[in-house]
Amino acid sequence: NFALPGLIDCHVHFREPGLTHKEDFLTGSMAAAKGGITTILDMPNTIPPTTTLAALEEKRRLAAKSIVNYGFNFGASPGNISDIKKAKNIAAVKLYMDYTTGDMKIDDLEFVADVFKASKITIIHAEDISIQNAIEIIIKNKIKNKLHVAHVSSEKELQYAKQNKIKKQVTVEVTPHHLFMNDKDLQHLGSFAEMKPRLKTENDQKALWLGIQNGIVDAIASDHAPHLKEEKEQANYPFGVPGVETMLPLLLDAFNKNRISLPTIQKLCCENPAGIFKIKNKGIIKEGYDADLVVADLDKRQAVRNEDLLTKCKWSPFEGKILKGWPVMTIVNGNVVFNDGKIFDIKAKEVQYAT
């Protein structure tokens, strides 16, 4: 068995408030704990969206039932710059430059610039040329704040995000679904493999892996975006796939296939997310750091099975895949919350940030 710092998943949608038929902070956090994740950062595309101080406080109250540590991303919405400046203890501001679940797309590029100026770090959902547009806004306005590009999915997006002029200011996140699937998987999975950004070609998938090897990719995050089976079966299905329970098993399986090292998993899933969002006392195993740990059995072989999943949506695009390497015990703030297949409902804490 092998111990890692607990994973810090900087991109999840736990759907509370307003969409709790898909997930809530308890079920989402139980699924995360089972997947070896000890801290999550939640996204603002809930109902109501986390774009006001009142909505942030309400989400804070609801998240208290989480059994993994948690933090919040505040949403950018027209006219809310003063709330962005006043929001307390947030990881980042999330800004949507393209359409996705939640309808929070911003079209006004002046406002985009204002958000970049107002927040020390902005996470963008931007696809393809929108990433280039975001970077041009930063260069043109001589903005010094940081930009984190969520779920980079293609070779081109990676190039836009990591161009020389701005390299040190921009961090790049990739998801397990873009690493372990490509557009060929749409043939058998249909809408169950539809997310934003969509799965790309095998060549793009290779570029993401190359980015990991070259150190261009800064973080891996699940973009856990659960929707019910019934919703996915509709003609007008929503985009997104669940991921907190399968991210670490997929990466450990890749380790067993010599595709990624354990130190790289630790860097991209623990240390770097803590560093990018300045989360205090997390991401490495060291005296004085929080006792957030995951113990993995690197030889354990098991299939991903829908019936085993703790996410409310109860399905995974990786169902049926046999993976070698599974988390077997998860410790949050010194408490065992997952062991030997069982979950222990011990409440966790909101994370703090260095300023």
What residues are annotated to the active site? 223
265 vs 176: CA distance, rounded Å: 12
195 makes contact with ligand NCD (CB under 6 A): yes
Closest residue by Cα to residue 94 from 18, 41, 33: 41
94 makes contact with ligand NCD (CB under 6 A): no
Nearer to Zn ion, 128 or 308 (CB): 128
**Which of 59, 125, 146, 232 forms a contact with ligand NCD (CB under 6 A)?**
125
74: tokens are 């505040």
Element (H, E) at 117: helix 109-118
**Which of 38, 39, 45, 130 forms a contact with ligand NCD (CB under 6 A)?**
45
Q: DSSP 3-state assignment of 207?
A: helix
312 makes contact with ligand NCD (CB under 6 A): no
219 vs 171: CA distance, rounded Å: 8
Are the C-beta atoms of 38 and 66 separated by less than 8 Å?
A: no
Q: Which amino acid is at 90?
A: I
The interface region with Zn ion, picked from 92-100, 134-142, 185-193, 337-345 by CB under 5 A, is: 92-100
125 makes contact with Zn ion (CB under 5 A): yes
Q: Output Rg (C-alpha) for the chain, integer angstroms.
A: 19
240 makes contact with ligand NCD (CB under 6 A): yes
177 makes contact with ligand NCD (CB under 6 A): no
**Which of 181, 225, 279, 309 forms a contact with ligand NCD (CB under 6 A)?**
225
The Cβ-side half-sphere exposure at 144, using a 13 Å CA radius, reads: 0
130 makes contact with ligand NCD (CB under 6 A): no
101 makes contact with ligand NCD (CB under 6 A): yes
Q: Give the end-to-end CA distance of the chain in Å, rounded to a whole number.
A: 36
Closest residue by Cα to residue 42 from 21, 53, 22, 28: 28
Q: In sequence order, what are the residues at sequence separation of 6 or more whose Cβ sits closer than 8 angstroms to the Cβ of residue 196?
A: 98, 99, 100, 101, 125, 127, 151, 239, 240
Task: Residue 316: name its binding partner from ligand NCD, Zn ion, none (Cβ under 5 to 8 Å by kind).
Answer: none
Q: Which residue is nearest to Zn ion (CB)?
A: 125
The interface region with Zn ion, picked from 15-23, 121-129, 137-145, 156-164 by CB under 5 A, is: 121-129
The least CB distance from residue 126 to ligand NCD, in Å, is 10
Task: Residue 239: name its binding partner from Zn ion, ligand NCD, none (Cβ under 5 to 8 Å by kind).
Answer: ligand NCD
Query: Which residues are at the interface with ligand NCD (CB under 6 A)?
Result: 13, 45, 100-102, 125, 195-196, 223, 225, 239-240
Query: Which residues are at the interface with Zn ion (CB under 5 A)?
Result: 100, 125, 223
